[in-house]
A and B are shown apart, each in its own frame.
Chain A
Amino acid sequence: MNLYTNIFADIVAGVSADPHAAVHTVKEIIYLISAMLFVLSLMWMNHPSTARRGVFAGVIAMLAAIGGTLLLPEISSYTWIIVAMVIGSAIGAPLAMVPLTAVPQRTALSHAFGGLAAGLVGASEYYLWITQHHEKITAFGTGALVTEVILGFLTFTGSLMAAGKLMEIIPTRPITYKGQNAINLSLLSVAILAGVGLVCAPYQWVLFPIIIVLALTFGIMLIIPIGGADMPTVIALLNAYAGLSAVAMGFVLDNKLLIAAGALDGSSGLILSIIMCKAMNRSFANVLFGGFGQVRVSAGEAEQRTVKSATAEDAAQIMEAARTVVVIPGYGMAVAQAQHRVRELYDALTKRGVEVKFAVHPVAGRMPGHMNVLLAEAEIPYDKLIEMEAINPELPEADVALVLGANDVVNPAARHDKSSPIFGMPIIDADKAKTVFVVKRSMNPGFAGIENELFYGDNTLMLFGDAKAMLTSIVQALKE
């Protein structure tokens, strides 16, 4: 007891002796609490029932950290801070209201903003170091600063490119050319070399804009060769980069909260990237070093195989008689905005005593977990959303598999065809269901340009048409 009162007395004494130091102590304590709340916030994300509490903890942590920072004596004027906060909130609030199909591009934009902030803070710090705070220049500090600036600016342009592709402002197909990887790697190498140069000679400021331009260019070049189907991995990777740039900023500013929060973000991005890689059977190195630039060869043999097609009425009849129907959604469902029709189908079938489940492949959609959010929006209870590993053993028992806008993730070629570009990728075993319905606009191969042998299966019936219209007709037929 005595000990604590002593500490308290000492802090009070410290406040009167050196108010500035005391403010910093208070700030550090607030930062500590804030870091703890961030960890709790992510812990509570482990289950939907506690997740909203997690958001609340995150908000409190952020408000505390901002409040603690505003106390600092270094801040001489609040005008621009307040103006910037108002503008930022005004941009942020509408961005939170985007349709859920547009969440991937919002996320990419958000990584771009994060990268931009890191890059700008890095540039400002460098300027302050060489003009005023010469004492802050150390090899370690400059190294961290260069890392921050490179990561920040490459995340900025890279994420803008990703957002552009997702919004289809920029062609979503991979843009490749000869020697692409060599050019990209040399861009990055030159940037890193210039960075090393700056560490050795911190006052050679000419190097600094060179590093920035190289990082900006590298970010663009890195994302150009990536196609839409690879976006989940890329977004997760950019998430990790944004986190790492915050970590580097923490080292530059000697700020433990930044390091902790950045590391949490970085490890989250890392884990999501690894999950995405595994779900596409790519090695992590393959993704990191631009292996995703390779153009996938489309199956050359254009052998004429026949497909069987069916009408909405046929489908309704078979589904009605089924015990279990497994719906396998893909990006096509999002494009067609068909998730609410899916809900109607779910209702109509459930009412007839048919058990309906959803099989969600980790890379379905344009970002990790995209399908789950879309289906949750359509008010499908989340215990009906089943992960690939859990649903696959059930599929041989399922009467109907309804493939809705998914393609590569249900291609049986991944299991046995060694020549297929997706060989080895874990898939949802839709072909094992007794009857497979595939809703598809036409027989054009999917984005990756790979023939899908599921379409030619003996138990497969194609439902040609727009996903939304087709589901509407099926629901209609069920009601009659």
Chain B
Amino acid sequence: MSPYALALLATAAPETAPKADFLTLLYVLMLATFTGLLVIRNVSRLLHTPLMSLTNAISAIAVVGSIVLAGGEDTFTKVLGTVAVIASMTNIVSGFLLTDRMLKMFKKREPAKS
């Protein structure tokens, strides 16, 4: 195996990797926060309500953690995980649909007069 592929597998696969590298996670947090701050600052104020419903849907990415629990072996965590999947899925579906519904309403020109 080339060192590149080894490194790839090592960082990606928990089974083969050493204990979670918290510094790496903190790096991700730091970079994502700055990215977020810079990107969101440029969002038009017109769109702050759709922005909020879009980020609702995006932060429902918690669904990936819930799925693993809902599909697991343990009954107790299966139940909690299932409720968590329901909650996240609600946010995903309503968040994206509502955002799109609102964005469709923003028109620059007058709609054609009938």
Chain A residues proximal to chain B, CB less than 8 Å: 3, 6-7, 10-11, 13-14, 18, 20-22, 24-25, 27-29, 34-35, 38-39, 41-43, 45-49, 51-52, 54-55, 58-59, 61-62, 65-66, 68-70, 72, 74-78, 80-81, 83-85, 87-89, 91-93, 95-98, 100, 103, 106-107, 110-111, 113-114, 116-118, 120-121, 123-124, 127-128, 131-132, 138, 140-141, 235-236, 239, 242-243, 246-247, 249-251, 253-272, 275, 360, 362, 367-370, 372-373, 376-377, 379, 381-383, 385, 387
C-alpha gap A48/B54 in the complex (Å): 14
- B63 contacts A239, C-beta separation under 8 Å: no
Query: Can you name 23 A-B pairs with beta carbons within 8 Å?
Result: A10-B2, A18-B16, A24-B13, A65-B64, A87-B89, A92-B93, A95-B90, A96-B96, A106-B94, A113-B87, A116-B84, A120-B81, A121-B62, A128-B74, A138-B19, A251-B25, A255-B65, A261-B61, A264-B39, A267-B32, A268-B52, A372-B46, A377-B102
Among A11, A81, A131, find the residue whose CB has the most chain B CB atoms closer than 10 A: A81
- B108 contacts A48, C-beta separation under 8 Å: yes
When distances are taken between beta carbons in the complex, the residues of chain A under 8 Å from B13 are 18, 20-22, 24-25, 28
When distances are taken between beta carbons in the complex, the residues of chain A under 8 Å from B95 are 92, 96, 110
- B15 contacts A24, C-beta separation under 8 Å: yes
Residues of B39-63 contacting chain A, CB below 8 A? 39-63
Which among A61, A69, A385 is the interface contact of B68 at CB below 8 angstroms? Answer: A69
When distances are taken between beta carbons in the complex, the residues of chain A under 8 Å from B80 are 120-121, 123-124
C-alpha gap A117/B69 in the complex (Å): 11
Main secondary structure of the interface of B (DSSP, over half): helix
- B76 contacts A42, C-beta separation under 8 Å: no
C-alpha gap A55/B16 in the complex (Å): 36
When distances are taken between beta carbons in the complex, the residues of chain B under 8 Å from A21 are 9, 12-13, 15-16
When distances are taken between beta carbons in the complex, the residues of chain B under 8 Å from A362 are 45
C-alpha gap A123/B76 in the complex (Å): 10
Shortest distance between the CB of A311 and any CB in chain B (Å): 30
Which among B46, B76, B98 is the interface contact of A382 at CB below 8 angstroms? Answer: B46
When distances are taken between beta carbons in the complex, the residues of chain A under 8 Å from B58 are 38, 41-42, 58, 61-62, 261, 264-265
Tell whether A239 pairs with B52 under 8 Å between CB atoms, given A18-B16, A24-B13: yes
C-alpha gap A91/B56 in the complex (Å): 15
When distances are taken between beta carbons in the complex, the residues of chain B under 8 Å from A45 are 43-44, 47, 50-51, 54
C-alpha gap A141/B61 in the complex (Å): 20
When distances are taken between beta carbons in the complex, the residues of chain A under 8 Å from B28 are 250, 256, 259-260, 263
- A103 contacts B43, C-beta separation under 8 Å: no
Tell whether A107 pairs with B105 under 8 Å between CB atoms, given A257-B61, A267-B36, A362-B45: no
Q: Which residue of B lies closest to A11 (CB)?
A: B5
Which among A83, A114, A383 is the interface contact of B59 at CB below 8 angstroms? Answer: A114
Among A34, A370, A373, find the residue whose CB has the most chain B CB atoms closer than 10 A: A373
- A377 contacts B65, C-beta separation under 8 Å: no
Shortest distance between the CB of A57 and any CB in chain B (Å): 10
Tell whether A24 pairs with B55 under 8 Å between CB atoms, given A48-B108, A258-B62: no
When distances are taken between beta carbons in the complex, the residues of chain A under 8 Å from B99 are 55, 58
C-alpha gap A181/B12 in the complex (Å): 45
Shortest distance between the CB of A364 and any CB in chain B (Å): 11
When distances are taken between beta carbons in the complex, the residues of chain A under 8 Å from B86 are 84, 87-88, 91
- A258 contacts B85, C-beta separation under 8 Å: no
When distances are taken between beta carbons in the complex, the residues of chain A under 8 Å from B94 are 91-93, 95-96, 106, 110
- B25 contacts A254, C-beta separation under 8 Å: yes
Shortest distance between the CB of B21 and any CB in chain A (Å): 9
Which among B19, B49, B61, B67 is the interface contact of A262 at CB below 8 angstroms? Answer: B61
